[in-house]
Amino acid sequence: MPALINPSILSADFANLERDLGAIATADYAHVDVMDNHFVPNLTFGPQMVGRIQDVSTLPLDVHLMIEDADRWAPEFARAGVASVTFHAEATQAPVRLARELRRLGARAGVALRPATPVEPFLDLLGEVDMILVMTVEPGFGGQSFIDGTLPKIRRAREAVSEAGLDVWIQVDGGVSRSTIERAADAGANVFVAGSAVYGAQSIPDEIQALRDLADAASHAH
């Protein structure tokens, strides 16, 4: 499966979101960072706004919830009609129940791990999710630098998915650029979120293609 490139609209111009969604039309999903000012010290979009973003986006939305009490709020985002909803492992009491609810509502279900959260407690439950998001920066802001210490976790997650014979995607988010994407792909990631690298590029389509090509080459090198 080719690498998926999901630009993060956290780096878009919030007053020109429709324009900036159009600018990433050659990508795979638009990554939408939902922040509640509690789970992370930043505040972005609510479910109503995400629903409108989905209405005007030609790309499916990959929603990354950085919010407390995901059990209560995550289904609202699935009901907004988005393609994928990822909640944080640290913000749910009942990840399996929540993942099943998201899938029942028609969304792909993802579970996200902060850089210091281990993946092992989730490996037995891989069949319940469609994606594991390994955060490669502390969530909250764009433009931070990639944490190489997360690479072994990506590798362990990929090994567990392969051993189980499952089609669970492994996403990385934070500090992904031309200079870091090969390391993440080599470790086993297949979905790449990039905010500042894409929106800060001279040519957004060229940047998306360059990231995809680097990731594909690094993962085929196995």
Residues annotated as catalytic (active site), given as ranges: 33, 173
20 or 173: CB nearest ligand DX5: 173
CB of 150 or CB of 196, closer to ligand DX5: 196
Residues 1-40 vs ligand DX5: string with x where CB under 6 A? -------x-xx-------------------x-x-------
Decide: is 64 part of the binding site for Zn ion (CB under 5 A).
yes
The whole-angstrom separation of Cα 54 and Cα 52 is 5
Indicate whether 176 belongs to the interface with ligand DX5 (CB under 6 A). yes
- When CB distances are held under 5 to 8 angstroms depending on the partner's kind, the choice from ligand DX5, Zn ion, none that residue 174 binds is ligand DX5
Q: In terms of DSSP bridges, do strands 131-135 and 30-35 run parallel, antiparallel, or are they unpaired?
A: unpaired
- Say whether residue 173 binds Zn ion (CB under 5 A): yes
Please give the Cα distance from 116 to 112 (Å, whole number): 11
Q: Which residues pair with 30 in a beta bridge?
A: 61
- Should residue 211 be labelled a site residue for ligand DX5 when binding is judged by CB under 6 A? no
Q: Provide the phi-psi class of 112: left if phi over 0, else alpha when psi is between -120 and 50, else beta.
A: beta
Q: Are 66 and 88 in contact (CB under 8 A)?
A: yes
Choose the contact partner of 142 out of ligand DX5, Zn ion, none; CB within 5 to 8 A by kind: ligand DX5
Please identify, among the stretches 55-63, 82-90, 94-102, 168-176, the one whose residues bind ligand DX5 according to the rule CB under 6 A. 168-176
Pair 212, 24: CB distance under 8 Å? no
Question: Quick one: which of 84, 92, 180, 196 contacts ligand DX5 (CB under 6 A)?
Answer: 196
**Which stretches within 80-203 are classed as H helix?**
95-104, 151-164, 181-187, 196-199
- Note whether 146 and 196 are within 8 A (CB): no
Handedness of CA 80, 114, 145, 2 (dihedral sign): negative
Taking contact as CB under 5 A, which single stretch among the options 26-34, 53-61, 113-121, 196-204 is the one that binds Zn ion?
Answer: 26-34
Tell me: does residue 143 bind ligand DX5 (CB under 6 A). Answer: yes
Find, among 118, 112, 78, the residue nearest to 193 by Cα. 112
The closest alpha carbon to 40, from 115, 123, 126, 119, belongs to 115
> Near Zn ion by CB under 5 A, which window of 28-36, 82-90, 102-110, 178-186?
28-36
Question: Does 33 participate in binding Zn ion (rule CB under 5 A)?
Answer: yes
Complex with ligand DX5: residue 145 or 162, whichever CB lies closer:
145
Residue ranges in contact with Zn ion by CB under 5 A: 33, 64, 173
Residue ranges in contact with ligand DX5 by CB under 6 A: 8, 10-11, 31, 33, 64, 137, 139-144, 173-176, 193-197
